[in-house]
Structure 1
Amino acid sequence: MMDGTRIDGAMSAHEAQATVRQFLLENPAVLLDDPELLRLLGLQTLPENVVAFGPAALARVHAAHRKESAVRRQLESTARANFAAQAQTHGAVIDLLEARNHADLARRVDDLAQLRFGLRCGVIALEGPEQTPAGWRPLVEGQVDMILGGHQKLTRMGFWAPALGLFGEQGAKIKSMALVRLAMWEPAREGLAAFGSEDPKGFTEDMGAELVAFLARVIERTAERWPVL
């Protein structure tokens, strides 16, 4: 070979492939009439000389089936998890409604976080210079907006360092959290329901907050049964 050009008359691999392909296109019977060659190539013939890529086609079907099965299992797992969470939430609502006072309500929020949802803790926090109920975390005015990231923001999911103080001595163990704004009594006092998890993926930013928001509304209505003394 010299300057990329053959001088010995030999055929390049590319030329050989092109020649074989052209020959088979012009003489398909050579392939169709040779069962042994078809078998070695992983092909088979069907009636009327239709060539079926048996193993390859089966592999594609099997792969598609595996993918479909994986998606179905994921959907089923998500549905089961959602159903279990809803069932636990309904039970939690009953627990909250049975609270006898503000301190008992705070204890029940912490208990349901641990016992029903497998979290590290749950707390209720309240803004204002006025007295804070026993068992609740005190916040200065405007702190709810600061923690949530704005006056219009109702929830925050995931890890948020400025909120770690809500969890007191448990704060060092919190790796993710769900925070929901509360508004109670007239005139309204701002507060937070906060749930902390040791799992970094326990609460994530893309996670829906519907269930924790629902619990927050129950906490609001229950707390309003009693005045803050």
Structure 2
Amino acid sequence: MSSSPKLDDTLRAAIIARPDAILEDRDLMHALIDANERSMGGNIVDLRGIAMDRLEARLDRLEDTHRSVIAAAYDNLAGTNIIHRAILRLLEPMEFEVFLRDLGGEVAEILRIDAIRLVLESNENGTEDPAISRLDSVLTVAEAGFVDRYISHGRPSQPRPVTLRQLQRGSDRLYGPAADWMRSEACLRLDFGAGRLPGLLVMGSEDPHQFTPQHGTDLLAFFAGVFERRMRLWLA
């Protein structure tokens, strides 16, 4: 007659009916392995248990990586949807002033940024134009060469289509009273076609982590491409 305690008949029948349930229960498997190690004594090394611990640690790392990939995919999808909504809003206005006001209003809200500024280079002093004065909250007219200097901070370099960077504070010329609060920005260089000076679209944020050099720029480059083509219609 065995001295080992007998399992309850109902529990024993349930285990026999579904042994896979034990294998899939991590806590239960740990308890069984620990009981087996105790029964073997302290002088025996259970290589199977060690191997299982390592495999379990590797599985945990794979699951963490999987969750990170899924989260990144959702973030990218959300970012794509935001850019698409902003572009559709850009395409609605039929007048230039409305277009720029929407840029600084609803488009900025869709993009979840705190400030957006359009810089147009000019060889002439256009600041006296009443239309420009009415739109100075979103539009800045600058001298030729300003765009590349602003993007590169005056250092010799090849300007990139999109530059992301963190700030100690923003530019007074572009952000005005809000300059003290800007902590990161995206600079989108605009090409208006042959024979035209370049432009610049600057997106500013009070969040220092919204625009950093580690972020991808594909979506912003796409937004800039649509924006500059829309601008060519107004500048024609």
What TM-score does the superposition give when structure 1 sets the normalisation length? 0.71
Query: Rg larger in 1 or in 2?
Result: 1
Q: Which residue in 2 is equivalent to 1:103?
A: 97
Distance 1:102 1:201, change over 3 A: same
Q: Which residue in 2 is equivalent to 1:118?
A: 112
Residues 152-180 of structure 1: CA distance to partner in whole angstroms, max 9, x if unpaired?
Answer: 43221112569623222222111111101
Where has structure 1 moved over 4 Å in runs of 4 or more?
Answer: 160-163
For the pair 1:189 / 2:197, whether they are aligned, the reply is: yes
- Aligned-partner Cα distance in 2 for 1:60–1:203: 39
The alpha-carbon deviation at position 91 of structure 1 amounts to 1.3
Q: Which residue in 2 is equivalent to 1:40?
A: 42
Q: Which residue in 2 is equivalent to 1:78?
A: 72
The alpha-carbon deviation at position 79 of structure 1 amounts to 0.5
For the pair 1:159 / 2:166, whether they are aligned, the reply is: yes
- Partner-residue secondary structure (3-state), 1:225: helix
Q: Give the gaps of 5 or more residues in structure 1.
A: 1-34, 45-51
Q: Which residue in 2 is equivalent to 1:146?
A: 149
Calculate percent identity across the aligned residue pairs: 24
Distance 1:151 1:57, change over 3 A: closer
- Aligned-partner Cα distance in 2 for 1:79–1:93: 21
Alignment partner for residue 94 of structure 1, among 71, 77, 88?
Answer: 88
- Aligned-partner Cα distance in 1 for 2:38–2:227: 76
Distance 1:37 1:140, change over 3 A: same
The alpha-carbon deviation at position 184 of structure 1 amounts to 2.1
Number of aligned positions between the proteins: 186
Q: Which residue in 2 is equivalent to 1:22?
A: none
The AA in structure 2 aligned to 1:141 is A
The AA in structure 2 aligned to 1:142 is G
- Is the 2:170–2:181 contact (alpha carbons within 8 Å) kept by the matching residues of 1? no
For the pair 1:172 / 2:180, whether they are aligned, the reply is: yes
Q: Which residue in 2 is equivalent to 1:12?
A: none
Alignment map for 1:200-215 (pairs within 5 Å):
200-215=208-223
Question: What is the root-mean-square deviation in Å for CA atoms of aligned residues?
Answer: 2.6
Distance 1:221 1:146, change over 3 A: same
- Partner-residue secondary structure (3-state), 1:224: helix
- Aligned-partner Cα distance in 2 for 1:42–1:66: 27
Residues 160-219 of structure 1: CA distance to partner in whole angstroms, max 9, x if unpaired?
Answer: 569623222222111111101112266312110111111111111122212112111222
Q: Give the gaps of 5 or more residues in structure 2.
A: 1-36
Residues 111-169 of structure 1: CA distance to partner in whole angstroms, max 9, x if unpaired?
Answer: 35542232112221111134366321122211111011245432211125696232222
Distance 1:58 1:193, change over 3 A: same
- Aligned-partner Cα distance in 2 for 1:190–1:227: 12
